[in-house]
């Protein structure tokens, strides 16, 4: 009887943990859905939903990433400061999306975000910062609940 109860609970939980996807549609809107994105979607990422044991992220990092996704804006001619920004995020074990600003549309998106086209720039949830200052990046990440180290421990 107890085995049957455990089996029923396991089957119920499997349906609750549906995978969700996040992407940018052709109009530049961010879409979150439980169905995979269409072929023309940009910036496709699996978001939230089923916690995947193989993603290697600590629970606190996964929770922060779901609530406050990190986007790093860079360009081809940004070398040193963009590298420092990437290294800071990677060093803390932060999952992030890097958007290389190349097209006029991407330039306009960045201009709306921070007021001008300047890289590197970071967006953590709804917060944003222009340029690179490790203290400012760390402050944004701390406020969003990301662990201070890659192991997930303060």
Token pair of 66, please? 């779901």
Range ranked top by mean pLDDT from 21-25, 30-34, 104-108: 104-108
Do residues 23 and 37 lie in contact, with contact meaning Cβ atoms separated by under 8 Å?
Answer: yes
Helix H or strand E encompassing 55: none
Q: Rounded to two decimals, what is the model's pTM?
A: 0.64
The CATH architecture annotation of domain 57-154 reads 3-Layer(aba) Sandwich (3.40)
pLDDT digits (tens, 9 = 90+) for 127-142: 999 999 999 999 999 9
Q: How many C-beta neighbours within 10 Å does residue 149 have?
A: 12
User: Cα(136)–Cα(113) distance, rounded to whole angstroms?
Assistant: 17
Token pair of 90, please? 């990677």
Do residues 68 and 51 lie in contact, with contact meaning Cβ atoms separated by under 8 Å?
Answer: no
pLDDT digits (tens, 9 = 90+) for 88-139: 999 999 999 999 999 999 999 999 999 999 999 999 999 999 999 999 999 9
Sequence-distant (≥ 6) Cβ neighbours of residue 15 within 8 angstroms = none
**Which residue would you say has higher pLDDT here, 123 or 11?**
123
β partners of residue 97: 71
* Domain regions of the chain by residue span: 16-50, 57-154
3-class secondary structure per residue, 69-109:
CEEEEECCCCCHHHHHHHHHHHHCCCCEEEEECCCHHHHHH
Do residues 111 and 117 lie in contact, with contact meaning Cβ atoms separated by under 8 Å?
Answer: yes
């Amino acid at each position: 009887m107890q085995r049957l109860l455990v089996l029923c609970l396991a089957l119920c939980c499997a349906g609750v943990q549906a995978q969700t996807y996040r992407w940018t549609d052709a109009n530049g809107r961010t879409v979150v859905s439980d169905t995979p994105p269409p072929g023309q979607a940009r910036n496709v990422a699996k978001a939230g939903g089923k916690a995947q044991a193989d993603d290697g992220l600590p629970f606190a990092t996964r929770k922060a990433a779901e609530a406050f996704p990190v986007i790093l804006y860079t360009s081809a001619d940004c070398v040193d400061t963009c590298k420092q920004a990437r290294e800071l995020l990677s060093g803390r074990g932060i999952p992030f999306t890097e958007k290389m600003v190349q097209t006029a549309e991407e330039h306009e998106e960045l201009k709306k975000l921070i007021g001008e086209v300047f890289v590197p720039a970071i967006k953590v949830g709804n917060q944003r910062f222009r340029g690179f200052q490790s203290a400012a990046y760390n402050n944004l990440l701390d406020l969003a609940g990301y662990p201070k180290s890659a192991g997930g421990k303060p």
